[in-house]
Structure 1
Amino acid sequence: MRSPKFRLLGLAVAPLILLSACGDDSGSDEANSTTSPGDDAAATSMAPTGSAEDVTLTEADVDGTTVPALELGTTPLVVAETSIQEIEPGEGEAATAEQDVELRYLAVNGTTGEEILSTFPTDETVSMSLANPNLLPGFLNSLEGTKPGQSFIIAMSPEDGFGAQGNAQLGIGPNDTVIFYVEVVGATTPLTQAEGEAVEPVEGLPTVEADGTSPATITIPEGEEPPAELVAQPLIKGEGKEIQSGQQVRMQYTGVKWSDGTQFDTSLQEGRGAFETVIGAGQVIAGWDEGLVGQTVGSRVLLVIPPDMGYGASEGHELQEETLVFVVDILAAQ
């Protein structure tokens, strides 16, 4: 299972708001004594000191494994605009804006020179969706058009990186330039709906009509009592890898109430796009966490979720006493 930290690089950040500090006599040393990494008066007023061209790709030994490392020409390394130093050109088909780019990377804080994250010691790869507007702008702007085998160094400005909020969990302050070394493995076109072998419907469960592009039509069986236990029934068996607890999963879904069949939520509506979350980590209701682990990418899954695995513990929630029925298309997992 990948470290959850790897996934943080793909999360949305607030737009950068540049605040010019107006000097007055009210700010004492005591008032300014509490800072986050890179968030001090010097960093706030710091002028650009270099670019990606000032960074040298070197090697390091990690538990007997030789991995890439970065040597900054100066510390702190500050850039006003994101810059790129090409290392290897790569070859083959260029990644398009609709694809997922699989890559390995190393990240270093330009202010401190300290390594933040690296996928190289474990030879893991990370998939970044170029169709996801929540991806860091520095990646959205640099990964399109890349080719397998291509490698480069990005000196990513705060505006194109983690923005004014920084990322305290990763030790990144709001004024920190982040330096990435990236190796592109390849690009794939993600699924937009379930693909695989149809599974024979199970008697007594809701029936489903779905085209993968609009909300599914889910019909509750007349006169049937809802199951007391969780049901996770594939309707289409995908050929992808099994979902593991802790993975980031991309899905389209529709949810209705067993009691009257009315739809209460769907990701298949204009402007929403596919839903992404970490499965098995308590970020969604228990019925999703338990019912989707072990399913395969490409599958369409019918989930029938009793109240105790839905919103039963959420006092006053409109779905607290409802058995929930979902149809979920599993599009990707990493």
Structure 2
Amino acid sequence: MRSPRLRFLAAAAAPLAFLAVAACSPDSDGADGPSTTSSPDDAAATSAGPSDDLSDVAVEQQDGVPVLNWHGEPLAEGDLPFVTHETQSEQLQAGDGEEVGAEHDVQVRYLAVNGTTGEEIVSTFGTDETVTLDLTDETLLPAFRDNLPGTSEGESVLMALPAEDAFGELGNEQLGVGPEDTLLFYMEILDSYPVAGEPVEPVEGLPTVESDGETPAVIDVDGVEAPDELVVQPLVQGQGAEVEEGQMVFVHYTGVKLSDGEQFDTSYNRGQPFNFQVGSGQVIEGWDQGLIGQNVRSQVLLVIPAEQAYGELPEETDSTTAQPAHELAGEDLVFVVDIIAAY
């Protein structure tokens, strides 16, 4: 069984969306045309400018927040534009953790600066915010897929991306990035782990599952007895961090009724993961209880008794004001949940 790739999460949060190729188009209708953030003179100057050496850029900490200096001065006050015609990457601090692989999730903090204007674009520093990059995700900027494998947990790197390796000829008007602008990134690598988890030996008496990580799971409930209590069984053991109460969790899932195996819902048919705050009552009780403590990148089987799903069928009543029962009331439910990320 394969874990689903983090293809759609890039649209969920601005710091992550910025790192995705999908963010390149400035208009939702796909209209062509350069960004208006740079005048023709600016663009011409940038295009004609010399290629600059990344080693002349330094990172300094100001109240615990990194800023970029160029030739000893704040980048925005230097002799701009800063231009590179090929991707450059420089290690600033060695890491002593596990090596990042080409098929890993990588948890990072980062600062992005426009080399043409010296202006900060996005920063996750100064908050508790981190970003997890799926290096198998083809929508991720190629510079990260090419340069992060081989680094180590605890390492910090500085990167310069030419326009053609970043937002290309369209630029990104919303972010203030012109079609010729070089981008500078300072990135701290916090953690990494394989995208694919380890399969777990099936448990006798539970539903059997076939899953390819790209389409709805096929769940066979034949002969499975109704549960007396919530059943939580990992099918694939991920190596990411444990899901904590209060986190925003991103998942793909498929749900069937235990009574007849009929599928009643799946996120795959909607083309994007489902996200919710775990432990806050936004989902049924079986999810809130069952997913806390599970590891990111795990695939988890939940067999949920009706009272922890949509409740038991209500007793008959003559009241015309009684609320109608949920269509799944009285049903024991089975879900296969792929935990993609948790923040």
Give TM class, smaller chain. Answer: 0.5 to 0.7
Alignment pair present for 1:236 and 2:215 = no
The 10-residue stretch of structure 1 (102-111 or 139-148) with the greater mean CA deviation from structure 2 = 102-111
Measure the CA separation in 2 of the matches of 1:116 and 1:325.
44
Q: Which amino acid aligns with 1:7?
A: L
Per-residue Cα deviation, 1:33-64 (whole angstroms, up to 9, x for no partner): xx6333x3234433243335254224253xxx
Q: Which amino acid aligns with 2:67?
A: A
Shift of 1:133: 1.3
Measure the CA separation in 2 of the matches of 1:328 and 1:218.
15
> Which of 118, 127, 131 is residue 122 of structure 1 equivalent to?
127
Q: Which amino acid aligns with 2:337?
A: V
Partner in structure 2 of residue 66 of structure 1: 64
Partner in structure 1 of residue 115 of structure 2: 110
TM-score, normalised via structure 2 length? 0.61
> Which of 86, 89, 110 is residue 94 of structure 2 equivalent to?
89
Alpha-carbon distance change, 7 to 44 in structure 1, aligned in 2, over 3 angstroms: same
Measure the CA separation in 2 of the matches of 1:178 and 1:196.
46
Q: Which amino acid aligns with 1:153?
A: L
| Equivalent residues of 2:88, 2:161 under 8 A apart | yes
Per-residue Cα deviation, 1:94-128 (whole angstroms, up to 9, x for no partner): 21111112222211111210112222323543221
**Identical-pair percentage:** 30
Measure the CA separation in 2 of the matches of 1:245 and 1:173.
38
**Residues 29-44 of structure 1: pairs in structure 2 closer than 5 A:** 36-38=36-38, 40-44=39-43
Alpha-carbon distance change, 260 to 59 in structure 1, aligned in 2, over 3 angstroms: closer
Measure the CA separation in 2 of the matches of 1:182 and 1:265.
36
Q: Which amino acid aligns with 1:68?
A: P
Partner in structure 2 of residue 147 of structure 1: 152
Per-residue Cα deviation, 1:229-268 (whole angstroms, up to 9, x for no partner): xxxx66426895336677362x453356999826886759
Measure the CA separation in 1 of the matches of 2:210 and 2:21.
30
Shift of 1:69: 1.0
| Equivalent residues of 1:67, 1:120 under 8 A apart | yes
Alignment pair present for 1:181 and 2:181 = no
Partner in structure 1 of residue 336 of structure 2: 327
| Equivalent residues of 1:99, 1:188 under 8 A apart | yes
Measure the CA separation in 2 of the matches of 1:256 and 1:164.
47
Measure the CA separation in 1 of the matches of 2:169 and 2:233.
44
3-state SS of the aligned residue for 1:146?
coil
| Equivalent residues of 2:252, 2:274 under 8 A apart | no
Alignment pair present for 1:156 and 2:157 = no
Measure the CA separation in 2 of the matches of 1:11 and 1:254.
27
Structure 2: runs of 5+ lacking an equivalent: 1-11, 26-31, 70-74, 311-325
Per-residue Cα deviation, 1:161-210 (whole angstroms, up to 9, x for no partner): 23444444433334322100122233212344786997x99xxxxx7321
Partner in structure 2 of residue 51 of structure 1: 52
Q: Which amino acid aligns with 1:210?
A: V
Alpha-carbon distance change, 327 to 86 in structure 1, aligned in 2, over 3 angstroms: closer
Alignment pair present for 1:8 and 2:17 = yes
TM-score, normalised via structure 1 length? 0.62
Alignment pair present for 1:98 and 2:96 = no
- Which has more helix, going by share of residues? 2
Measure the CA separation in 2 of the matches of 1:10 and 1:246.
22
Aligned residues: 277
Measure the CA separation in 2 of the matches of 1:90 and 1:9.
25
